[in-house]
A and B are shown apart, each in its own frame.
Chain A
Amino acid sequence: MDNKELFARMEQSVINYDKDEAVRLANMALEKGIEPVAAINEGFVKGIQVVGDLFGREEIFLPELVMGADAMTAATDILGEAIKKSGGKAKYLATGIAGTVEGDIHVIGINLVTTFLVANGFNIKFLGTNVSSSLFVDQAKELKPDLILLSALLTTTMPNQKEVIDSLKEAGIRENVKVIVGGAPVSQDWADQIGADGYGENAGAAVEVAKKLMGI
């Protein structure tokens, strides 16, 4: 199998929502000494673009989108490790970190946002739920993401979105990232009030906002 065929299979594995195959092909690429950045950009990213387009045209539903993103993420996790070791960088539209703020364990919304962004060519690290402001700041310092996505589903935890933004200011890195907030009780007014850069009413809107903020 030449590289071109391998890349085509990688693309197809995401289109087929075949996680096992995607992982197998990622490992094969490393064994063959193929540049992991090329495997991501020429193979898997093309697959997720197809899946994202199908979803955008309403030809497939969310479960397929999630399966496609899962296959993509499983493969890029393997390749990403190799890239990190070699000091290279894959080409993503933008990078980000995402999580639900401290005191709040709601996961579904932020999971969907992460999936939507991955399916649209973003590289998002999901930090989980009940994430402290200090963890957001530490991760922002370490990974230097373009975006930080903060979810809050309770009126009592919404103020922690502001706390993250304030902590970023204190750490002197607020200007380096764009902050997008979301969650059921969150509104554009709230986003403006706490000095966020954007507000996404749902996962689809979050992608649009992220693209706009990144000038894409």
Chain B
Amino acid sequence: MIKLEERRASIQPIKSKLKISILDDGDIKKINQTALNILEEVGVVFPSQKALKIFADAGAKVDFEKKLVKIPSHLVTDYLKKAPRRYTLAGRRPELDAKIGEGNGTYFYSSGEAPSIVDFETGKRRPSILSDVANMAKIIDYFPIVSLMWPTVSAGDKGETAPIHGVEACFNNTEKHLQTESVMDEISAKYTIEMASVVAGGRDKLRERPVYSLLLCSIAPLAQDRGGIESALAFAEAGLPVGFMSMPTMGLTAPPYQAADLAVGLAEGLAGCVLLQIASPGAPVFITIQPAVINPRSGDYMYGSAFSQITSAAAIQLAHSNGLPILSCANFGGSAYKLNSWQVGRENVYVSLLAVMAGADMSFGPSSLIEAGSLLDMSRLPFDREIFQSIDIITKGIKVNDETLAFDMIREIGPQGTFLGQRRTAEELPKLWPPSILFEKSQVIGEKYRDAEEVAHEMIDWVLKNHHPAPLDEKVRQELRKIVAAADQDENLKREIRGR
């Protein structure tokens, strides 16, 4: 097994020396203009009286009956200017802060929230429960390549308050920044913001160091969810970052063209950002456009597709041209409907490579998810880790100087010699051979290397048994427990979620 040692959590963004641009300036201008035209002429549905009123007061054209908001271009432009390009998604310690917009490279998320898990002991699929959220948070805490986290699975045993229980399990098991994408009503939002405030040490400290944030998904095409948008308003009011995710599906919820997907997705994201800038000027926001294709025979949803991912990467230029940070490309475990298939590996490599090279501020990365994000297999994380190791190597480029040109070595060894027995080779060669689960020597005669899946399983087993994330203060833990217990008893919350 790769040698693992107990250590405190750390994070590792990947910064690329290789840069790609997918759109030229003319393309960017045209797509931005189409998004503005969509906002001004077609509009976006916000089924929340609160949101509609905020838009109307700011001068947008609001049809309260249809819940449709049309936003004049000048309003969009004016309010986007208030959105910060740089801010921090804070961890519990400053060393774990993701400093967005400061040129540190791409920070990777574990994403979620899958409803099912491959049971670590039996290897069989089952619905996920709260203890799975806790275990995965612990694993995420251990691996530096995961900088930011979502609860990776849902606490399916906790009913309406599953998202709140999930937040508690994560706060208790990792020091890394936590983002939720399932707290989709105002009441749950308030409970979890209170929890984050307890973790941060008060409301002001939470605003200074937001250890918690929200991502909500619009309903393509061109609509928002009531609960989600009201949750977002509560997060922004507390100074917590909010991301707006658009998931246009080509030919289904968006036109069958990549450019149109970008325009529709951008319009959805900008509409959300504008709302929050009106309500809480200067609120940290970001967007993400995660297009997908469908299998045109079965309707199966595929976001690992190359068409989807190059489109998601192209959105980076659009967000940056609007002064917004962006989360791009979704390594959600491939579209394959099979455990650990070749297809998952293929997709996960190009998805994350594109994100890093195109300059995404954040990207959905090593999540241990498969089957298009619907199934968590914890043993997949070491595989994801290998992929990111390769991406890091590739995007670092090549160092060229006197030492690395090594003319002195070449002159000394000369034609037909060997470089193997050299001191410098002894120092450098291990660097060209980073630890990998692929090359564990097998004890079985006739078998060169051990089964990588077995090695990966052992690694995760080690982490679960030996890693101890820095615990929260006992008083804080108890306070979190109290808030969750109160949420469990809150009939208004249950009604809100059921009637959503």
Q: Is A203 an interface residue (CB 8 A)?
A: yes
B162 lies within 8 A of A155 (CB):
yes
B298 lies within 8 A of A202 (CB):
yes
CA–CA, A108 and B292, complex, Å: 14
Q: Which of B154, B251, B374 contacts A63 (CB 8 A)?
A: B251
A62 lies within 8 A of B299 (CB):
yes
Range, interface on chain B: 20 to 34
A105 lies within 8 A of B225 (CB):
yes
Q: Is B253 an interface residue (CB 8 A)?
A: yes
Q: Which residue of A lies closest to B373 (CB)?
A: A184
B197 to chain A, nearest CB (A): 25
Instruction: Give every chain B residue within 8 A of A189 (Cβ-Cβ).
Output: 127
Binary CB contact string for chain A from 60 to 97 against chain B (1 if under 8 A, 0 otherwise)? 01110000000000000000000000000000000000
Q: Which residue of A lies closest to B126 (CB)?
A: A189
Q: Which residue of B lies closest to A130 (CB)?
A: B500
Q: Which of B115, B116, B154, B299 contacts A203 (CB 8 A)?
A: B299
Q: Is B498 an interface residue (CB 8 A)?
A: yes
Q: Is B397 an interface residue (CB 8 A)?
A: no
B374 lies within 8 A of A184 (CB):
yes
Which residue, B219, B298, B300, has most C-beta atoms of chain A within 10 A?
B298
B160 lies within 8 A of A156 (CB):
yes
CA–CA, A159 and B253, complex, Å: 27
Instruction: Give every chain B residue within 8 A of A190 (Cβ-Cβ).
Output: 127
Range, interface on chain A: 20 to 34
CA–CA, A185 and B374, complex, Å: 8
Q: Which of B115, B159, B225, B300 contacts A185 (CB 8 A)?
A: B115
Q: Is B417 an interface residue (CB 8 A)?
A: no
B296 lies within 8 A of A63 (CB):
yes
Q: Is A102 an interface residue (CB 8 A)?
A: yes
B162 lies within 8 A of A156 (CB):
yes
Instruction: Give every chain A residue within 8 A of B299 (Cβ-Cβ).
Output: 62, 108-109, 112, 202-203
Instruction: Give every chain A residue within 8 A of B253 (Cβ-Cβ).
Output: 108
Binary CB contact string for chain A from 116 to 158 against chain B (1 if under 8 A, 0 otherwise)? 0000000000000000000000000000000000000001100
CA–CA, A102 and B497, complex, Å: 10
CA–CA, A156 and B497, complex, Å: 8
A108 lies within 8 A of B225 (CB):
no
Binary CB contact string for chain B from 207 to 226 against chain A (1 if under 8 A, 0 otherwise)? 00000000000010000010
Given contacts A156-B160, A184-B374, 17 further A-B contacts (CB under 8 A): A55-B297, A62-B294, A62-B296, A62-B297, A62-B299, A63-B296, A102-B498, A103-B499, A108-B249, A108-B299, A112-B299, A156-B159, A156-B497, A185-B116, A187-B127, A202-B299, A202-B300
The 4 closest A-B pairs by CB, nearest first: A61-B296, A185-B115, A112-B299, A62-B296
A residues at B contact (CB < 8 Å): 55, 58, 61-63, 102-103, 105, 108-109, 112, 155-156, 159-160, 184-185, 187, 189-190, 202-204
